[in-house]
Amino acid sequence: MKNNQKSIRMTDEVMQHVEKFPGKGFNEKFENMVLFCMVNEKDIINRVENLEKRKHELLSDIRELTKVTASMAQIKKHINEAALICKNAPLKGQMKIG
């Protein structure tokens, strides 16, 4: 037996969402929606927590890869500088004596 009677106000957006839920009328749709949320609340919270944890792991990976990329850029710069020095250096036996 349903003893509770309430009058509620809601936005059009919320009303449209309630109306999409399975049920014969507004009261049944609204009650089904609340029951669905009650039944699935723990799973939804766990899923959100897992997604948050994964997001933090990915952000950490991105930070680490950013550092590696910066280091690789420095290495590339030094290799290019060394290659230029080697290209311009006289070969053995070709040294000019002033």
Consecutive 10-residue averages of pLDDT for the chain (98 residues): 88 96 95 96 97 98 97 96 86 62
What are the structural domain ranges in the chain? 12-87
What pLDDT, on a 0 to 100 scale, did the predictor assign at position 97? Answer: 56
Smallest CA-to-CA distance from 25 within 52, 55, 2 is with 2
Query: Backbone phi, then psi, for 81, in 5-degree steps?
Result: -65, -45
Whole-number Å distance between alpha carbons of 89 and 91? 6
What pLDDT, on a 0 to 100 scale, did the predictor assign at position 14? Answer: 95
